[in-house]
Chain A
Amino acid sequence: MVLKPSDFRVPEVYADWCPGCGDFGIMNGLHMAFADLGLEPHQIVMVSGIGCSGKEPHNVKAYGVHTLHGRTLPFAMGIKVANPALEVVAIGGDGDGLGIGAGHFVNAGRRNLDMTYIIHNNGVYGLTKGQASPTLRLGLQTKALPKPNINEAVNSIQLAVVSGFTFVARSYAYDVRHLRDTIKQAIQHKGLAFIDCLQPCPTYNNITTKAWYAGEDRLDDAGKPQSRLYKLEQTGFNPEVHDWSEDLEKKIVAISKAQEWGDRIPIGVFYKNELEPTFEARLKDRIPFYMERPPAKQKLCDENGLAHIDLSEFMENLKTS
């Protein structure tokens, strides 16, 4: 059965985001990507944290796990390790992933599980009414802030590259096709994929707005707005590591590209490396039958319900008679 994007809607749930919220775009991007990839709802687990973005799974017809603030990645890891056949897509806000959950972000990179993580990056904590998020730049004063932001921003793309994510991309919530394609590539990537999804917050971020990204303040000679976003793939940028010898250089280039901001903001894939073994592959090295019989698929007992583990190897060393 071929599913359409609309088959991934959840009609009984009212999506309670503000009108014009980037979360709608991301929701549509997810619906489209899942349909394009021919996935069925039960094969997918959407995991989210807290904040406006945390509600995303309730609006996607797939298994949904709406967790705690900042803890998206640990939950996702547990799910994926228990059953690696599941398509796990973790999502969260910028505060969720780069503030309270920053430790998990870095350590997820070290493991390289074969799953996808999308950060909704809008520079503010929307649900608590507009405080500065870790991606808001120093000195900016979005409208709910009593004073300009006193902290410098974290660069999520750079952090992902140095943490060990093996697919690092950026997209934009209002360029749904680009987002759809990026999500598809991320899911198909063998390893931990990260998408930094830029999105305006129409209610609390009055600086990096939809109009700002579209460059409505930057008209060309013909009076046409010049978008601040440009696509890496259209510049001939080649992010993929084909041999370990080029890895460091690709990383450095990705980091340096990610430094661009302001009037020219790159979107697209910054870095991609499928040479790095996934966490699943590392587990398989230790447990040869891991993929066929992962933790969630083991029987635990015989047909009579008796636990069937043989503890004699454990006990051998402990025996005294």
Chain B
Amino acid sequence: MDTAANVFGKACGYGGLYVFGRREYHSNIKGLHSYFHLRVSPQEVLANINDVNLLAAFDAETVVRHINEVVPEGGVIVDSKDLNTKVLDIRTFPPEFIEEIKKLMKEENLGETLNDWLNHAKQRNVHVFPVPYMDLLNQIGEKLGIAQISKITRMINVLTIGVSFALLKYDRKLAENAVKATFAAKGKIADMNVLALNMAYDYAEQNFKDDFKHRLTKVDVDEERLFLTGNQAVAMGKVLGGCRVQTYYPITPAADESEYLEAHQIMKTSSGEDEAIVVIQTEDEIAAINSASGAALAGARAATATSGPGFSLMVEGLSWAGNDEVPVVITYYQRGAPATGLPTRHAQGDLRFVIHAGHGEFPRIVLASGDIQECFYDAAKAFNLAEKYQMPVIHLLDKAMANCSQTYKVFDYGKFKIDRGELLTEKDLEGKEYKRFRFTETGVSPRVPLGTRNGLHWYTGDEHNETGHISEEPFNRIKMLEKRMRKLELVKKEVPDEDKLKFYGDTASENMVVSWGSPKGAILEALDMLKQEGLSLGFMQVRLIHPLPAEMVKKALEGKKRVIDVENNFLGQLGGVIKEATGIAPTHHVLKYTGRPMTTTEVYDALKAILTDKASETEVLMFGS
């Protein structure tokens, strides 16, 4: 399914179209319902919407779960063999969903087979396109001389794409190119898939004369574009930012990033000498954070990537890194929680966790990206922040960004500067007395990598003196703790405003949306829609979650009639943190905790209801299966 979505997205990209894709899957290897929701447009697309124009189903369950999202004049591609499937016999439905279906069947007077459901949809002018996938596969098998059809059943995904593009009257050459590019490394598999694509395309052209009105038309573009996921963007940002050691323990939805890095381990440079990142799969997340810290002490830019359960294990190591002023970066992809929670689903429930995690008081930076492009640049910036201020940096992301794909103009990264902060070399140290934790005005003490001549020093998890030896003297404790915490003031002062907060829309309006992370795309699109209707509001995206730029936030929110907090969690955590820091509480909350990201449609609906005083103080969103 991912392959199909990738081919589809690529083919659209080749035709100059923008794509936004969202991947939804269960915590299993195969069997349960997975889907990929793609939105395509000649204009930039930042999020999904509720409406589906074309549903391409590999199985009966997909039809049942999504048929009501298909709009009038939309289409459903379905396997002919599934038409007689009795909906209540679908084994993968959990009992609580069967109850829902039964209720629906009663209310809508729906029959028991999939065909009954499809006929019901036809009454809404939904077009149904049954495809005999097995027959097509048999024909392909014959042509290729493959007797065992089970070996090529996975090609159903490419068949679906062929049918889809034929219905959409899209240039089949572009689809062919996308198939070739996707299977480039797999030799003759690429040819087999091109054949399958064309047979499906032909089949649809010959059999579906029905005038499906939706079209995909290529447009000319004169810029290079990328279609990528947040995981990939972060990986690239990391190596750009100088990350040379990455440690991880497998966890959804973070592991893809590390695997991508390992696959691209050796990198060319403009200076001519190759560089490389070492990726270590550790035995657990405890080892991951602590070995990353070790690497950072030795002078490498080092990071680890994880999700909630993994970060929970890292917390003691985080405290050590804070105490010992270690420039280590933690990429944190939030997912549905608590405990194992919704392990493959989206959430933003860990904001308060990351700003408070760890025993004791120590400085840290928490930086939250709101889209895939920000993921890239922030991943690089995180290392500058970590080394300049010598503290752990948590780059806070979420499953939506990790697994969504989006089209962007190729990133222009040529101007990115590496700032290693106060880092001393053997030469700087010659003839001088060096103290690793020297008391300074800013709190930042010049750093020396382990192994440097003339720079001998110690680290300890205990409170320590300037040299790094254990000290429990009260006056030293005061000075050392204050020195560490003082660095946060420097962070607040020096981080550029646009890395703290970003403003969009009409910020002078009496209404202000506040949010962070992946809801950004849906909010921006909703803002545009509302503006066209004459409804004015601004949007403040919080990027520097910690230390929170409280004065700036206060200034932006003071005097607003409505402050609308939009988050993928239950408590409205950012809203709460803002209230603590500024005394200004959100007047409204738009929250979603189904494990699915917000769509533009539902954010628009909620904001509109709030602005027209038709909403309650808390709007809970629920769209998506």
- The answer to whether A311 and B413 touch across the interface, beta carbons within 8 angstroms, is yes
Residues on A with C-beta less than 8 A from B320 are: 67-68
Q: How far is the CA of A58 from the CA of B470 in the complex (A)?
A: 8
Per-position contact with A for B44-57: 1 when CB-CB < 8 Å, else 0? Answer: 00000000000000
- The answer to whether A302 and B284 touch across the interface, beta carbons within 8 angstroms, is no
Closest to B457 in A: A63
- The answer to whether A301 and B458 touch across the interface, beta carbons within 8 angstroms, is no
Residues on A with C-beta less than 8 A from B30 are: none
- The answer to whether B298 and A86 touch across the interface, beta carbons within 8 angstroms, is yes
- Whether B301 sits at the interface, judged by CB under 8 Å, is yes
Residues on A with C-beta less than 8 A from B144 are: none
B245 touches which one: A13, A75, A78, A311 (CB < 8 A)? A78
Number of A-B contacts (CB under 8 A): 257
Q: How far is the CA of A290 from the CA of B223 in the complex (A)?
A: 37
Residues on B with C-beta less than 8 A from A81 are: 245, 278, 280, 291, 295
B247 touches which one: A78, A300, A308, A313 (CB < 8 A)? A78
- The answer to whether B416 and A296 touch across the interface, beta carbons within 8 angstroms, is no
- Whether B201 sits at the interface, judged by CB under 8 Å, is no
**Known A-B contacts A82-B300, A314-B236; A321 and B242 likewise in contact (beta carbons under 8 Å):** no
- Whether B114 sits at the interface, judged by CB under 8 Å, is no
**Known A-B contacts A66-B461, A318-B227; A311 and B275 likewise in contact (beta carbons under 8 Å):** no
Q: How far is the CA of A67 from the CA of B224 in the complex (A)?
A: 48
- The answer to whether B451 and A43 touch across the interface, beta carbons within 8 angstroms, is yes
Shortest CB–CB separation between residue A88 and chain B, in angstroms? 9
Q: How far is the CA of A73 from the CA of B275 in the complex (A)?
A: 26
- Whether A147 sits at the interface, judged by CB under 8 Å, is no
Describe A's contact surface by its main secondary structure. mixed
Give the interface centre of A41, A77, A290 by most chain B CB atoms within 10 Å: A77
Give the interface centre of A12, A82, A286 by most chain B CB atoms within 10 Å: A82
- Whether A21 sits at the interface, judged by CB under 8 Å, is no
Residues on A with C-beta less than 8 A from B461 are: 50, 66-68
A42 touches which one: B287, B288, B454 (CB < 8 A)? B454
Give residues 161-219 of B contacting A (CB, 8 Å): 181
- Whether B450 sits at the interface, judged by CB under 8 Å, is yes
Per-position contact with B for A108-143: 1 when CB-CB < 8 Å, else 0? Answer: 000000000000000000000000000000000000
Give residues 1-58 of A contacting B (CB, 8 Å): 12-13, 40-43, 45, 47, 50, 55, 57-58
- The answer to whether B278 and A77 touch across the interface, beta carbons within 8 angstroms, is no
Residues on A with C-beta less than 8 A from B457 are: 63-64
Shortest CB–CB separation between residue A16 and chain B, in angstroms? 9
Residues on B with C-beta less than 8 A from A104 are: 283, 286-287
- The answer to whether A293 and B13 touch across the interface, beta carbons within 8 angstroms, is no
Shortest CB–CB separation between residue B283 and chain A, in angstroms? 4
Residues on B with C-beta less than 8 A from A58 are: 458, 460, 469-470
Closest to B459 in A: A65
A86 touches which one: B241, B269, B411, B450 (CB < 8 A)? B450
Closest to A321 in B: B225
Give the interface centre of A43, A64, A80 by most chain B CB atoms within 10 Å: A64
- The answer to whether A299 and B275 touch across the interface, beta carbons within 8 angstroms, is yes
A296 touches which one: B287, B295, B458 (CB < 8 A)? B295
Give residues 418-463 of B contacting A (CB, 8 Å): 418-420, 449-462
- The answer to whether B410 and A315 touch across the interface, beta carbons within 8 angstroms, is yes
Give the interface centre of A43, A57, A79, A309 by most chain B CB atoms within 10 Å: A309
Q: How far is the CA of A43 from the CA of B460 in the complex (A)?
A: 19
Q: How many residues of A contact B (CB 8 A)?
A: 69
Residues on B with C-beta less than 8 A from A293 are: 273, 275-276
- Whether B302 sits at the interface, judged by CB under 8 Å, is yes
Residues on A with C-beta less than 8 A from B470 are: 55, 58, 66
- Whether B29 sits at the interface, judged by CB under 8 Å, is no
Give residues 563-603 of B contacting A (CB, 8 Å): none
- The answer to whether B242 and A318 touch across the interface, beta carbons within 8 angstroms, is no
- The answer to whether B317 and A68 touch across the interface, beta carbons within 8 angstroms, is yes
A299 touches which one: B14, B223, B271 (CB < 8 A)? B271
Q: How far is the CA of A111 from the CA of B247 in the complex (A)?
A: 14
- Whether A289 sits at the interface, judged by CB under 8 Å, is yes
- The answer to whether B270 and A74 touch across the interface, beta carbons within 8 angstroms, is no
- Whether B232 sits at the interface, judged by CB under 8 Å, is yes
- The answer to whether B380 and A307 touch across the interface, beta carbons within 8 angstroms, is yes
Q: How far is the CA of A304 from the CA of B176 in the complex (A)?
A: 44
Q: How far is the CA of A12 from the CA of B278 in the complex (A)?
A: 38
Give residues 290-337 of B contacting A (CB, 8 Å): 290-302, 316-317, 320
- The answer to whether B291 and A86 touch across the interface, beta carbons within 8 angstroms, is no
**Known A-B contacts A63-B457, A82-B300; A321 and B13 likewise in contact (beta carbons under 8 Å):** yes
- The answer to whether A79 and B275 touch across the interface, beta carbons within 8 angstroms, is no
Q: How far is the CA of A47 from the CA of B451 in the complex (A)?
A: 13
A310 touches which one: B244, B269, B284, B420 (CB < 8 A)? B269
- The answer to whether A296 and B449 touch across the interface, beta carbons within 8 angstroms, is yes
- Whether B221 sits at the interface, judged by CB under 8 Å, is yes
Residues on B with C-beta less than 8 A from A63 are: 450-451, 456-458
Q: How far is the CA of A300 from the CA of B293 in the complex (A)?
A: 19
Q: How far is the CA of A64 from the CA of B294 in the complex (A)?
A: 11
- Whether B402 sits at the interface, judged by CB under 8 Å, is no
- Whether B143 sits at the interface, judged by CB under 8 Å, is no
Residues on A with C-beta less than 8 A from B236 are: 311, 314-315
Q: List 10 A-B contacts (CB under 8 A).
A: A63-B450, A63-B458, A64-B458, A78-B294, A81-B278, A82-B278, A86-B450, A296-B244, A296-B299, A310-B268
Lowest 6 CB-CB distances: which A-B pairs, in order? Answer: A320-B13, A78-B294, A78-B291, A295-B244, A295-B300, A66-B460
* 13 extra A-B contacts, CB within 8 A, seeds A42-B453, A71-B286, A307-B380: A66-B459, A67-B290, A68-B317, A71-B317, A75-B294, A78-B245, A78-B291, A106-B283, A301-B242, A313-B267, A318-B226, A320-B225, A321-B16
